[in-house]
Amino acid sequence: MINYLNPDEHDLVVELMNIGVGKAAASLSQIADDEVTLCVPKLEFLSYEEAESAFNERLSVALSGVSQEFKGFIGGTATLLFPEARSLDLVTAMLGEELDDDIELDAELEQEVLSELGNILLNNCLSTIANILGESLHTDLPTTFHIESDSLLKHLSKGEEPKSVVVMLLTIDFSLKHKDLSGHLVFTIDFSIVDTFKEALQNYLNELGE
């Protein structure tokens, strides 16, 4: 495993993600009307092969997800993942009392709920990080998918050559306290623009040191 960040930069990324995901968790808690428990973020830099085996080892085989690409001082894909078997439970938890009798809980609505949930959580997280660093990001529209864990990396890396892919894998597991639901947030970063990312981190660290 290669480390592209020095210890201070590494620490800052974990802290930024803590804050960003904290904001997203507050939003999830509001939507689901439940307490959200977060694990400490784990930040790793992995080759394509290492990331592939990490996904296979740590994630459920069948997954439902929503991902959102982002570009700016940092580029990549942010992904929210849930075990596919619990996807409908998640939708019910999200819609709660908004699920009127005349609205059928079908696959289309499930996709729309996942999409909007991803939109809120991923955007909240990414926006909070950009705000702290005084940078701006463009985020694309969310896309939902159902996938097996062994195909996830291929899906997220958009078919790029495995050798050119470095995955900054930031994994944060979360769960809803009273609804027996848990999921993962995964960020994969495009390292062709890593210089601007490091520059933003250094600017922030320099300001702290002044």
Partner 1 sequence: MTVKVLLVDDSRVSRMGLKKAIKGVSQEFEISEAENADVAEAYLQDNTADIALIDFNMPGRNGLELVEAIIGQHPDMKYVLVTANIQTSIQEKAKGLGVEFVGKPVNASQLAEVIGGFCD
In this structure, are residues 197 and 74 in contact, taking their beta carbons and an 8 Å threshold? yes
> Does 67 participate in binding partner 1 (rule CB under 8 A)?
no
> Does 27 participate in binding partner 1 (rule CB under 8 A)?
yes
> Does 139 participate in binding partner 1 (rule CB under 8 A)?
yes
Q: For residues 77 and 123, which CB has a smaller minimum distance to partner 1 in the complex?
A: 123
Length of the chain counted residue by residue: 210
> Does 25 participate in binding partner 1 (rule CB under 8 A)?
no
> Does 74 participate in binding partner 1 (rule CB under 8 A)?
no
> Does 115 participate in binding partner 1 (rule CB under 8 A)?
yes
The residue within the footprint of partner 1, chosen from 15, 112, 180, 195 (CB under 8 A), is: 112
> Does 136 participate in binding partner 1 (rule CB under 8 A)?
yes
Smallest separation, CB 178 to partner 1 (Å): 18
For the chain, the distance separating the N- and C-terminal CA atoms, rounded to the nearest angstrom, is: 33
CA distance 88 to 91: 5
# chain residues binding partner 1, by CB under 8 A: 27
Smallest separation, CB 79 to partner 1 (Å): 16
> Does 31 participate in binding partner 1 (rule CB under 8 A)?
yes
The residue within the footprint of partner 1, chosen from 131, 143, 202, 203 (CB under 8 A), is: 131
The residue within the footprint of partner 1, chosen from 128, 149, 157, 171 (CB under 8 A), is: 128
For 130, residues 6+ apart whose C-beta sits below 8 A from its C-beta are 72, 73, 136, 137
> Does 127 participate in binding partner 1 (rule CB under 8 A)?
yes
Give the residues lining the site for partner 1 (CB under 8 A). Answer: 27, 30-31, 95, 98, 103, 109, 112-113, 115-116, 119-124, 127-128, 130-131, 134, 136-137, 139-141
